[in-house]
Amino acid sequence: MEKTVVIKCGGSVLSDLSPSFFTSLQAMYEQGMNVVLVHGGGPEIGKMLERLHVHSEFVNGLRKTTKEVLEVVEMILAGKVNKQLVALLQQYGLPAVGVSGVDACLLQAAPIDLEKLGYVGKVVNVNGVFVDKLLQSRYIPVISPIGTDKDGQKYNINADTAAGAVAKAIKAAQLLFVTDVPGILRDGAVVEQATIDAIERMINEGVITGGMIPKVKAAIAALSESLHEVMIVSGKAPFYENGQLYGTTIRNEVGGLLMGALFPTYNRWNICVKSAEGTTVTDTNGKQYLDFVSGIAVCNLGHRHPAVQKAIEEQLNRFWHVSNLFTIELQEEVAELLVANSCGDYVFFCNSGAEANEAALKLARKHTGRHKVITFRQSFHGRTFATMSATGQEKVYKGFGPLLPEFVHLPFNDIKALENEMSEDVAAVMVEIVQGEGGVRPADAAFLQKIAELCKQYGALFIVDEVQTGIGRTGKPFAYQHFAIEPDIITSAKGLGSGIPVGAMIGKAFLKDTFTAGVHGSTFGGNPIAMAAAKATLQIIFQPDFLQEVQEKGDYFLARLQEALSEFKLVKEVRGLGLLVGIECGEDVAKLIPAIHENGLLVLTAGPNVIRLLPPLIVSKEELDQAVKVIKQTIQEVKTAAAK
């Protein structure tokens, strides 16, 4: 899929564009990018009005546009500036085509305030199909920001606003604002990353001054759920070389607000949560969503389950932390619940799935005296060095090498590859019953049985990573219980604490003497508040009737999705186990996810082309039906838009 970039050139910089600006565009175009230019022309409009002795009046930075002024605006933007810019692009061999927002009703407009501003318009709709057709033919559209309403009345539209609207309509990857400097400067150096908080501080500190202030505000205003990045670049120096853009990047992190003191390690959605209860999440704008993410398989009982909340509040009034040098009764009680509902005998508590898997790997190596660990491609086991080394996805460990040695990644569900690799130097085989992050790919029963058989034959430990699949997610306490296998070690986290951080490694009795005092530990492992949450959670989820309902709802949901989506060629397969479901599509789903969110359903991805669904286990059949309806409706909307 080609990357689309919208570039806004203000009138103040158009006369000073250097050859490097055009060579940057050449490089982008030759790299296969789709490029759209939206231009202004304020200075030229001002000069012409002055020559015609027509008074210019500005209200809140916008030029008041009478019918007389509108004629001049159209003449300058469409008749002069647009043609000059197209001619310059063509001189550099770029297939530019000039269009006005009036053409094909490209920019449908409505008045902002007729009385105060006259014929100054706001964009109410963009004919993105028209732009897409030009891009598909490898043209570079150069757009004059003049709009029209359904009656043919034309409007003068602010170029910043027009560029943002076009970028959103065509789902551009980035929007660039061209200025006369290479970005925001602090002490002469370019600020490469900026946030709203940081920008406000820099304005207050006098770092950002003068004409740069409206530019950064326009850039921030353009951010949306579908447009995650806006850049401020220079028209006087190269802004694209060797596949890299140069300037100041402003990223949309959450709720239209950027968090200035956080590392940008998450591709956050443009949703800022105000509250959550049961299966519903409400954002700061008051919009409600049916939550089929569940904190990524964490809130299995939904948000703020009253029994879990009560248990947490009661423990808060007792004690919060004393360390594992003391006996903590809640740890014993939660451990008993876990071993009573698994094939394990002893439990080690920690704070996350990665830590649980780390403990399992340490235990396997120490117990066997061996080092080699077999895992599988597209697996995900965590982001510590051991669990990252175990993970079979390059994107997780790329750039962090060298990884820990003697981790082997085999094809998933490939019995022959496993048989060829197994030997007496293997310490453990670690597998997910369903690869969650890897595309919601269930393991075959024969494959799991072969792992168990070969581990027993060669004296290796059989580890199942149940971080995402455990705690009732599939209709059993643990997903391995759907199959005739008994692992030596089970790891758990996510749903275990209903949102309070907690992880657990569960092992068989013969492993007890390997993990003795001082061999392994965790300061916060088994924290009393986490244990209170875990106990309340397990007491509900491990009830047989509750788990039976999860299985029934999972079967119902899978069948409903398969039936409803069978008409779409986009959908290749709907698969899953219990209430862990994936919809595999024939193309990248990154742009489909925000559309589903916009229609009121929270879902996430599992790799580039799979929509992952993780509803709370308390979800009703009516809510499952609603989710099916939203997904089908959204796919149909996308299909219809693509056909225009």
Whether residue 522 is annotated as binding a ligand: the answer is: yes
Residue 439 lies inside a defined structural domain of this protein: yes
Residues 219 and 277 in one domain: no
**CATH number of the domain within which 488 lies:** 3.40.640.10
Residue 189 lies inside a defined structural domain of this protein: yes
Residues 53 and 174 in one domain: yes
Residue 149 lies inside a defined structural domain of this protein: yes
Number of domains in the chain: 3
Whether residue 276 is annotated as binding a ligand: the answer is: no
The neighbour count for residue 641, using CB atoms within 10 Å, is 13
Whether residue 304 is annotated as binding a ligand: the answer is: no
Query: In whole angstroms, what is the distance from residue 168 CA to residue 627 CA?
Result: 25
Q: What pLDDT, on the 0 to 100 scale, is given for residue 255?
A: 39
Residues 589 and 635 in one domain: yes
362 three-class SS: helix
Residues 532 and 592 in one domain: no
Residues 355 and 444 in one domain: yes
Residues 38 and 56 in one domain: yes
Q: What is the pTM of this model?
A: 0.66
**CATH number of the domain within which 612 lies:** 3.90.1150.10
Residue 256 lies inside a defined structural domain of this protein: no
Residues 42 and 123 in one domain: yes
Query: In whole angstroms, what is the distance from residue 546 CA to residue 618 CA?
Result: 9
Query: Phi/psi zone of residue 162: left (φ > 0), alpha (ψ -120 to 50 degrees), beta?
Result: alpha
Q: What pLDDT, on the 0 to 100 scale, is given for residue 257?
A: 43
Whether residue 197 is annotated as binding a ligand: the answer is: no
Beta bridge partners of 602: 291
Residues 533 and 613 in one domain: no
Residues 315 and 286 in one domain: no
The DSSP-derived string for 41-85 is: -HHHHHHHHHHTTPPP-EETTEE-B-HHHHHHHHHHIIIIIHHHH
Q: What pLDDT, on the 0 to 100 scale, is given for residue 630?
A: 97
Residue 262 lies inside a defined structural domain of this protein: no
Which residue bears the tokens 């920008």? 199
Q: What pLDDT, on the 0 to 100 scale, is given for residue 259?
A: 46
Q: What pLDDT, on the 0 to 100 scale, is given for residue 201?
A: 75
Beta bridge partners of 182: none
Residue 263 lies inside a defined structural domain of this protein: no
Domain interval for residue 349? 306-542
Q: What pLDDT, on the 0 to 100 scale, is given for residue 224?
A: 64
Q: In what order do the strands lie in the sheet with 280-283?
A: 273-277, 280-283, 288-291, 601-602
Residues 289 and 426 in one domain: no
Q: Compute the Cα dihedral for 474, 480, 484, 486 and give only its sign.
A: negative
Query: In whole angstroms, what is the distance from residue 532 CA to residue 39 CA?
Result: 60
Is 240:35 a contact under the CB 8 Å cutoff?
no
Whether residue 468 is annotated as binding a ligand: the answer is: yes
Query: For the chain, which ranges sit under pLDDT 50?
Result: 1, 254-260
Whether residue 345 is annotated as binding a ligand: the answer is: no
Is 283:272 a contact under the CB 8 Å cutoff?
yes
**CATH number of the domain within which 48 lies:** 3.40.1160.10
Residues 226 and 244 in one domain: yes
Query: In whole angstroms, what is the distance from residue 279 CA to residue 258 CA?
Result: 27
Residue 268 lies inside a defined structural domain of this protein: no
Whether residue 156 is annotated as binding a ligand: the answer is: yes
Query: In whole angstroms, what is the distance from residue 82 CA to residue 80 CA?
Result: 6
Q: Could you say which of 521, 542, 563 is where a domain stops?
A: 542
Whether residue 41 is annotated as binding a ligand: the answer is: yes
Query: What residues contact 168, with CB distance under 8 A and at least 6 apart?
Result: 126, 222, 224, 226, 227
Is 628:312 a contact under the CB 8 Å cutoff?
no
Beta bridge partners of 158: none
The CA angle 117-122-128, to the nearest 5 degrees, is 155
Query: In whole angstroms, what is the distance from residue 642 CA to residue 460 CA?
Result: 52
Whether residue 469 is annotated as binding a ligand: the answer is: no
Which residue bears the tokens 């740890």? 331
Whether residue 4 is annotated as binding a ligand: the answer is: no
Whether residue 354 is annotated as binding a ligand: the answer is: yes
Q: Could you say which of 542, 577, 603 is where a domain stops?
A: 542
Residues 291 and 324 in one domain: no
Q: What pLDDT, on the 0 to 100 scale, is given for residue 261?
A: 61
Whether residue 429 is annotated as binding a ligand: the answer is: no
Residue 437 lies inside a defined structural domain of this protein: yes
